[in-house]
Amino acid sequence: MAKIRIKDILDGKYAGQKITVKGWVRTFRNDRFIALNDGSCLANLQVVIDFEQYEEAFLKKITTGASLAATGTIVESPGKGQAWEMQAESVAIIGLSDPDKYPLQPKKHSLEFLREIAHLRVRTNTFGAIYRVRHNLIYAVHKFFHEKGFYNVHTPIITGSDAEGAGEMFTVTTLDFDNLPRTPEGEVDFKEDFFARHTKLTVSGQLEGETAALGLSEIYTFGPTFRAENSNTSRHLAEFWMIEPEMAFYDLDDNMALAEEFVKYLVRFALDHCADDLAFLAKRLADEEKQKPQHQRQEMGLLEQLHFVADNDFERLTYSEAIEILRNSKPNKKKKFKYLIEEWGADLQSEHERYLVEKHFKKPVILYNYPASIKAFYMRLNEDGKTVAAMDVLFPGIGEIIGGSQREERYEVLLQKIEMLGIDAQELDWYLDTRRFGTAPHSGFGLGFERLMQFITGMGNIRDVIPFPRFPGHADF
Ligand code: 4AD
Ligand code: MG
């Protein structure tokens, strides 16, 4: 028999029918009311049992966390809070749960505590909602690109190149650490390793994505990426998911337009398809905000914020214009920034990005044309000879959510840059082939999926928007 979902029952699809439902007990009140959840939606199904039918010992087994099957008729609920409930004729326990040991009691648990039991937190309202929103957004990413005629490309996770320079990398090896092969110079001899070279986990699929775009025109990747930087912040993971579209014959303007359209689409998709979960997460965030002092509270609630981003144009300005605004800003003059902005060329920190977005413009901002010196080698050099056609999309509460650029398609200019930075051109020979044979202007960007998740769910810590977070010192589960 096909499993019946609680979501469909609560949508009224089984009115008056006798069915069997299966799920996990959230609460059991007065030996009579079981709140049953199967993860198909936020809400529980109220299963009403006649306790006189059962032995005392049996009723004791209906505990928070236990799984069970209930058979009965779906009737209109006289109680508040739900339209439908089940009048159960029989209940069978499927999996017992020792109430003294089950860590998820029907009360509020801290997010820190739940992180320690990440294998069980999916059974809470908050994490059930986060998992469901995450799924919907994954689906929306593919839907958006598919409908636009982009092709999804799987780029390698194990890579021999680290030319991207986006962060510290994790080595992938099968060498025996107790007996490492050495070169005559005494260095580890990776020629003896599985791939006969030093391999690592990728920080980005971009370079391989570019090769695909220069044949398929418009592609995107959506894969895991790994960065071993020791940044213990609420916005960094060591393993995160990134969406990287790459488009031939797009310039920087086309790139910015696509990035804006894409994130707005995703926000709108969540509003349209995850209404109950977002309403719950909005309330959670509002409760959390109430704990903060007045001046630290956000002006907008979660849903307001999402609508605002979906419905308003992002502000676009150059890095140079941003530097002027920041240099003359109050926190800079009063030395409130940790890193003061003095000169053109300074790298922007998250405090500066957030000032621009949250205080100055009060909306998402796209900064473009950054100094070449603070950006990656593959970005296209502008006419001025000192800036590159880079762009970052900055979001309220998050800071950088997207980073991208128009790519340097001119072989000579690119080669010069590679040599100037001391990157081994031989290692990038395959990449340079794209510029040797039918090169074309092209652009792309990377959206950090978990940063987007943070924005849409209102969760303050990135460790709470991925099922099993990886960060320094933590790779449990
Ligand atoms: O700006 P990044 O480093 O850009 C790239 O990797 C390019 N190859 C993208 C491209 O042009 N195809 O990273 C892109 C995005 C950031 O804007 C941020 O949202 C996210 O990835 N990100 C992280 N998210 C979580 N944890 C980390 N440690 C992250 N580092 C970057
Ligand atoms: Mg970046």
Q: Specify the CATH number for the domain of residue 420.
A: 3.30.930.10
CA distance 241 to 362: 27
Same domain, 353 and 217: yes
Report yes or no on 366 lying in a domain. Answer: yes
- Are residues 26 and 160 both part of a single domain? no
Please indicate, yes or no, whether residues 315 and 434 belong to a single structural domain of this protein.
yes
- Nearest atom within ligand 1 for CA of residue 203: 6
Q: Going residue by residue through the chain (477 aa), what tens digit of pLDDT does each one get?
A: 689 999 999 999 999 999 999 999 999 999 999 999 999 999 999 999 999 999 999 999 999 999 999 999 999 999 888 899 999 999 999 999 999 999 998 888 999 999 999 999 999 999 999 999 999 999 999 999 999 999 999 999 999 987 677 778 999 999 999 999 999 999 999 999 999 999 999 999 999 999 999 999 999 999 999 999 878 899 999 999 999 999 999 999 999 999 999 999 999 999 999 999 999 999 999 999 999 998 888 889 999 999 999 999 999 999 999 999 999 999 999 999 999 999 999 999 989 999 999 999 999 999 999 999 999 999 999 999 999 999 999 999 999 999 999 999 999 999 999 999 999 999 999 999 999 999 999 999 999 999 999 999 999 999 999 999 999 999 999
Nearest CA to ligand 1 atom 28: 236
What's the DSSP call for residue 8?
Answer: H
- Measuring from atom 17 of ligand 1, which residue has the nearest CA? 402
Q: Looking at the CA of 447, name the nearest ligand.
A: 1
Whether residues 333 and 229 share a domain: the answer is yes
Structural domain includes residue 61: yes
Residue of minimum CA distance from atom 5 in ligand 1 = 446
Q: Which atom of ligand 1 is found nearest the CA of 403?
A: 1
Where does a domain end: 103, 133, 155? 103
- Is residue 362 within 8 Å of 394, Cβ to Cβ? no
Instruction: Specify the residue with its C-alpha closest to ligand 1, atom 22.
Output: 448
Q: 405 CA distance to ligand 2 centroid (A)?
A: 10
φ and ψ of 210, to 5 deg: -60, -40
Range of the domain at 41: 6-103
Q: Tell me how far the alpha carbon of residue 402 lies from the centroid of ligand 2, in angstroms.
A: 7
- 19: domain CATH number? 2.40.50.140
Specify whether the backbone of 46 is left (phi greater than 0), alpha (psi in -120 to 50) or beta: beta
Pocket test for ligand 1, best of 229, 234, 242, 464 (most atoms within 8 A of CB): 242
146 part of a folded domain: yes
Any domain includes 114: no
pTM of the model: 0.96
Question: Cβ of 207: how many Cβ atoms within 10 Å?
Answer: 20
Q: Do residues 95 and 133 share a domain?
A: no
The whole-angstrom separation of Cα 34 and Cα 229 is: 47
- List residues near ligand 1 (CB under 6 A): 164, 166, 204, 206, 227, 236-237, 240, 242, 244, 400-405, 444-446, 448, 450-451
User: Nearest-5° angle of CA 240, CA 345, CA 382?
Assistant: 85
Q: Does residue 224 share a domain with residue 327?
A: yes
Residues 95 and 155 in one domain: no
The verdict on 76 and 215 lying in the same domain is: no
CB 381 within 8 A of CB 414: no
Q: Which residues are near ligand 2, the ion (C-beta closer than 5 Å)?
A: 403
Distance of CA 189 from the midpoint of ligand 1 (Å)? 31
Closest alpha carbon to 376 in 450, 444, 318: 444
In a domain, 110, yes or no: no
Residue 180 within any structural domain of the chain: no
Q: Say which residue the tokens 């009360």 belong to.
A: 107
Q: Return d(Cα 261, Cα 88) in angstroms, integer.
A: 49
Alpha-carbon distances, residue 203 vs 155, 158, 256 (angstroms): 11, 10, 22
Could you tell me if 56 and 153 lie in one domain? no
- Together in a domain, 129 and 13: no
Indicate which ligand has the atom closest to the C-alpha of 228. Answer: 1
- Ramachandran category for residue 30: left, alpha or beta (phi over 0 → left; psi -120 to 50 → alpha): left
Q: Give the C-alpha separation, 259 to 149, whole Å.
A: 16
CA distance 161 to 423: 11
The tally of domains found in the chain comes to 2
Residue 283 burial (CB count, 10 A): 14
Judgement on whether residues 436 and 306 belong to the same structural domain of the protein = yes
Other beta carbons less than 10 A from residue 48's beta carbon: 17
Relative to the CA of 245, which ligand 1 atom is closest? Answer: 12
- Note the pLDDT of residue 1: 65
